[in-house]
């Protein structure tokens, strides 16, 4: 069987930043002489002190070290804001669309410069200095972008915590990063409801101790400010000077920390630095979306995730783009909302997640067809493998069969797109992230031998052979963990923790995580985190969490729970445990299915056999494989008899 293939149209190719020939040439140059290639493309930024060194990287275990443009100096905020003032001061930088239809705001580069500079001065007045960490817990409002850029302006390091995380999760991130300031809003409207952000911050600070807090009044609701600790954003901004010189930063100074889930332990603080990160974020934004001056670009992610960092704020603004920021949800007030926003603002590039596409697909074609989507030039997806059915719907119904789709594979750790078609250059196949971006050298490794599979067709684990500019540099406060997580399993490579297949045309197909990380609605979640939340409940003796296929979310969260002796299982207890996990981690980690398990399948040495738990959760227990090493094989029969996901 051959996969359907969609070549770029001649018209798109003719006007694109890269056609097939140019992609081949640039890709070859990028891997044959990375120094020369990145020396050239580093010039897309404005440097205060030009770099003379380009690449200084080694993946050699345990001496992993990654430096790009290490003697260059720049300021990320200047690159995203100030440098555009002369040529496009009156151009719209950010279009903000509110949760309620009808509300929007257009922020020009001039205005962006003013707001960011004032906020940077407010930070200073609150004692924030270069190198300090600032935690942002924000709704999707322009102030979230101001808050990020103001950090960059004075060299403070932001750490954004997604608004769907609970006070407990927020507290641990505030504590881990030893934040000097928390920026939040009273409430965040989403889908017609108000998320109690300030309420959560208050609860978090009760846990981790008081930290100076700056509060944007978005709704006027919420618990009110605490004397001496909390400051009203508007009040301080009213008195702030719009003149704030930008700090000169080394290319390798951290720009931000972003916590993400791994297979073990608590979330890791992924550290991205200033120079290389911005080179990759801006270059991918330009090429992947084939962004041209004057285009209106919309990424529907939340700034709390890496996609929001690189593709709502840093990449687009570094390119002087018009970036749309949306406060709401795809289906509020109705199933047409995304498409109404596209029509209203004449969106040219639209970037969303497969889970959103699947949930909108389930609502039929009418809500899409009601809207004029003729401005669309590129459609993008990110976050998880996109199933061909969803891809085809996106292509046929949203793109009317004409708009190229870019399926972008990358990670919080990679900072920017790693594999993706370029609209004018690479023919697409539904479900494949296709080919590597410039400078990215993917390899498929045999998971047992760790050797590169050199045949064109290959299946194994995905690793990357050499560094790229926006690679994460370390785990905040724990370099050893960085080295051991990504460079120990397969020596000499960056291990992505994804499985993949390479087909006869050299196209890559990501098959999903090979570690214990779940991808629920495109959100990364560690099974270990959910398990430790469950066992922290007084009635729970033991818990094991696995993913199972979910029609809309991609993966659902399936929990096996062993209760303490004497505790009766009940539906009420199920609800209680679900709420408990929501409280410990946040609504994003809400269990979908909880099965009472009197025992878990363990080897004689006590190791839980997750393979069996996954199979039962998948409702595919005909092929459990070898169970002879189990200490008590009969627990499996009980698990099967009481399974929760019956297809």
H or E element that contains 392 = helix 388-393
**Closest residue by Cα to residue 545 from 565, 512, 518:** 518
Backbone angles phi, psi at 338, to 5 degrees: -55, -45
Helix axes 634-641, 610-617, angle to 10 degrees: 20
Q: Among 113, 309, 513, 578, which residue sits at the site for ligand WTA (rule: CB under 6 A)? A: 513
Verify binding: residue 410, ligand WTA, rule CB under 6 A. Answer: yes
Helix axes 571-584, 167-176, angle to 10 degrees: 30
Question: Phi-psi region for residue 148, left (φ > 0), alpha (ψ -120 to 50) or beta?
Answer: alpha
Torsion angle of C-alpha atoms 413, 608, 614, 530, degrees rounded to 10: -50
Query: Which residues neighbour 575 within 8 Å (Cβ) at sequence distance 6 or greater?
Result: none
Q: How far is the CB of 417 from ligand WTA (least distance, A)?
A: 9
Stretch that binds ligand WTA, among 99-107, 108-116, 407-415, 603-611 (CB under 6 A): 407-415
Verify binding: residue 274, ligand WTA, rule CB under 6 A. Answer: no
Stretch that binds ligand WTA, among 508-516, 544-552, 608-616, 638-646 (CB under 6 A): 508-516
Q: How far is the CB of 462 from ligand WTA (least distance, A)?
A: 9
Stretch that binds ligand WTA, among 33-41, 101-109, 406-414, 447-455 (CB under 6 A): 406-414
Assigned token pair, 328: 């709401």
Neighbours of 188 (CB within 10 A): 26
CA 175/CA 177 separation, integer angstroms: 5
Binding site listing: 190-193, 307, 383-385, 407-412, 498, 513, 521, 524, 535, 537, 540, 582
Stretch that binds ligand WTA, among 236-244, 339-347, 391-399, 506-514 (CB under 6 A): 506-514
Determine the length of the chain.
647
Q: With CB under 6 A, what is the number of residues at the site for ligand WTA?
A: 22
HEC secondary structure over 580-593: HHHHHCCHHHCCCE
Q: Among 510, 533, 557, 612, which residue sits at the site for ligand WTA (rule: CB under 6 A)? A: 510
287 vs 305 by CB, closer to ligand WTA = 305
352 vs 562 by CB, closer to ligand WTA = 352
CA 360/CA 373 separation, integer angstroms: 15
Q: What is the DSSP string of 88-146?
A: HTTSEEEEEE-SSTT-EEEEEHHHHHHHHHHHHHHHHHTT--TT-EEEEE--SSHHHHH
Verify binding: residue 408, ligand WTA, rule CB under 6 A. Answer: yes
Q: How far is the CB of 407 from ligand WTA (least distance, A)?
A: 5
Q: Among 336, 434, 519, 584, which residue sits at the site for ligand WTA (rule: CB under 6 A)? A: 519
HEC secondary structure over 431-489: CCCECECCCCCEEEECCCCCCECCCCCEEEEEEECCCCCCCCCEECCCHHHHHHHHCCC
Q: How far is the CB of 540 from ligand WTA (least distance, A)?
A: 28
319 vs 408 by CB, closer to ligand WTA = 408
Contact 407, 394 (CB under 8 A): no
Q: How far is the CB of 498 from ligand WTA (least distance, A)?
A: 5
Determine the 3-state secondary structure of 229 from DSSP. Answer: coil
Verify binding: residue 411, ligand WTA, rule CB under 6 A. Answer: yes
Q: How far is the CB of 626 from ligand WTA (least distance, A)?
A: 27
- Contact set for ligand WTA, span 303-342 (CB under 6 A): 305-307
Strand-strand pairing, 517-520 and 523-526: antiparallel
Contact 273, 56 (CB under 8 A): no
Sketch the per residue contact string, 345 through 384, with ligand WTA: x for CB under 6 A, - otherwise: -------------------------------------xxx
Contact 289, 324 (CB under 8 A): no
Q: Among 524, 537, 553, 615, which residue sits at the site for ligand WTA (rule: CB under 6 A)? A: 524
Sketch the per residue contact string, 162 through 201, with ligand WTA: x for CB under 6 A, - otherwise: ----------------------------------------
Neighbours of 177 (CB within 10 A): 21
Q: Among 79, 108, 117, 260, which residue sits at the site for ligand WTA (rule: CB under 6 A)? A: 260
Handedness of CA 214, 220, 223, 228 (dihedral sign): positive
H or E element that contains 238 = helix 233-239
382 vs 426 by CB, closer to ligand WTA = 382
172 vs 519 by CB, closer to ligand WTA = 519
Binding site listing for CoA: 190-193, 307, 521, 582
Which residue sits closest to ligand WTA, CB atoms considered? 412
- Contact set for ligand WTA, span 213-242 (CB under 6 A): none
618 vs 638 by CB, closer to ligand WTA = 618
78 vs 510 by CB, closer to ligand WTA = 510
CA 404/CA 267 separation, integer angstroms: 35
250 vs 521 by CB, closer to ligand WTA = 521
Binding site listing for Mg(2+): 535, 537, 540
335 vs 444 by CB, closer to ligand WTA = 444
Q: Among 412, 474, 521, 527, which residue sits at the site for ligand WTA (rule: CB under 6 A)? A: 412
Q: CB burial class (10 A; 0-12, 13-18, 19+) of residue 343? A: middle
Q: Among 97, 99, 407, 531, which residue sits at the site for ligand WTA (rule: CB under 6 A)? A: 407
Q: Could you list the residues that contact ligand WTA (CB under 6 A)?
A: 260, 305-307, 382-385, 407-412, 433, 496, 498, 510, 512-513, 519, 524
């Amino acid at each position: 069987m051959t996969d359907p293939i969609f070549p770029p149209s001649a018209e798109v190719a003719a006007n694109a930043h890269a056609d097939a020939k140019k992609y081949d040439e640039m890709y070859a140059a990028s891997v044959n002489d990375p120094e020369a290639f990145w020396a050239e493309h580093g010039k897309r930024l404005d440097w205060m002190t030009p770099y003379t060194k380009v690449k200084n990287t080694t993946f050699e275990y345990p001496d992993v070290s990654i430096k790009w443009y290490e003697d260059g100096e720049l300021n990320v905020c200047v690159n995203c804001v100030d440098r555009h003032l002369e040529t496009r001061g009156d151009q719209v930088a950010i279009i903000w669309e509110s949760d309620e239809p009808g509300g929007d705001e257009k922020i020009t580069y001039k205005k962006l410069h003013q707001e960011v500079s004032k906020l940077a001065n407010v930070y200073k007045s609150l004692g924030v200095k270069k190198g300090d960490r600032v935690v942002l817990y924000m709704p999707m409002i322009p102030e979230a972008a101001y808050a990020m850029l103001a950090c960059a302006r004075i060299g403070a390091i932001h750490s954004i915590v997604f608004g769907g995380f609970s006070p407990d999760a927020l507290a641990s991130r505030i504590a881990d990063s030893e934040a000097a300031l928390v920026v939040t809003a009273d409430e965040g409207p989403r889908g017609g409801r108000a998320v109690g952000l300030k309420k959560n911050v208050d609860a978090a600070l009760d846990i981790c101790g008081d930290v100076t807090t700056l509060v944007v009044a978005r709704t006027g609701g919420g618990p009110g400010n605490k004397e001496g600790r909390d400051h009203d954003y508007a009040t301080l901004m009213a008195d702030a000077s719009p003149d704030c010189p930008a700090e000169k930063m080394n290319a390798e100074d951290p720009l931000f920390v972003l916590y993400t889930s791994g297979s073990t332990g608590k979330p890791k603080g992924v550290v991205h630095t200033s120079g290389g990160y911005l080179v990759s974020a801006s270059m991918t934004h330009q090429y992947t979306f084939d962004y041209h001056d004057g285009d209106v670009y919309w990424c529907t992610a939340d700034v709390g995730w890496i996609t929001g960092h690189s593709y709502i704020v840093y990449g687009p603004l570094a390119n002087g783009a018009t970036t749309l920021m949306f406060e709401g949800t795809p289906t509020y007030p109705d199933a047409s909302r995304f498409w109404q926003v596209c029509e209203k603002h004449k969106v040219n590039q639209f970037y969303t997640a497969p889970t959103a596409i699947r949930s909108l697909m389930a609502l039929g074609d009418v809500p899409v067809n009601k809207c004029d989507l003729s401005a669309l030039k590129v459609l993008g997806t990110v976050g998880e493998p996109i199933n061909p059915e969803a891809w085809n719907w996106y292509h046929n119904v949203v793109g009317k069969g004409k708009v190229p789709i870019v399926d972008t594979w990358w990670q919080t750790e990679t900072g920017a797109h790693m594999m993706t078609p370029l609209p004018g250059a690479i023919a697409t196949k539904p479900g494949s992230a296709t080919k590597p971006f410039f400078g990215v050298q993917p390899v498929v490794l045999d998971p047992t031998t760790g050797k590169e599979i050199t045949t064109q067709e290959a299946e194994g684990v995905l690793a990357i052979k050499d560094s790229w500019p926006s690679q994460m540099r370390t785990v905040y406060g724990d370099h050893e963990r960085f080295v051991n997580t990504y460079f120990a399993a397969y020596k000499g490579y960056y291990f992505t923790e994804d499985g993949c297949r390479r087909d006869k045309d050299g196209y890559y197909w990501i098959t999903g995580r090979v570690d214990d990380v779940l991808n629920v609605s495109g959100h990364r979640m560690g099974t270990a985190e959910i398990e430790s939340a469950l066992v922290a409940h007084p009635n729970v003796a033991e818990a094991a969490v696995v993913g199972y296929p979910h029609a809309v979310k991609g993966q659902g969260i399936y929990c096996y729970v062993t209760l303490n002796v004497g505790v009766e299982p009940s539906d009420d207890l199920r609800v209680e445990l679900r709420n408990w996990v929501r409280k410990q981690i946040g609504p994003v980690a809400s269990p979908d299915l909880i099965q009472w398990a009197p025992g878990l399948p363990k080897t004689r040495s006590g190791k839980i056999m997750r393979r069996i738990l996954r199979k039962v959760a998948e409702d595919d227990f005909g092929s459990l494989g070898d169970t002879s090493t189990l200490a008590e094989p009969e627990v499996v029969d009980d698990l099967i008899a009481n399974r929760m996901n019956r297809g």
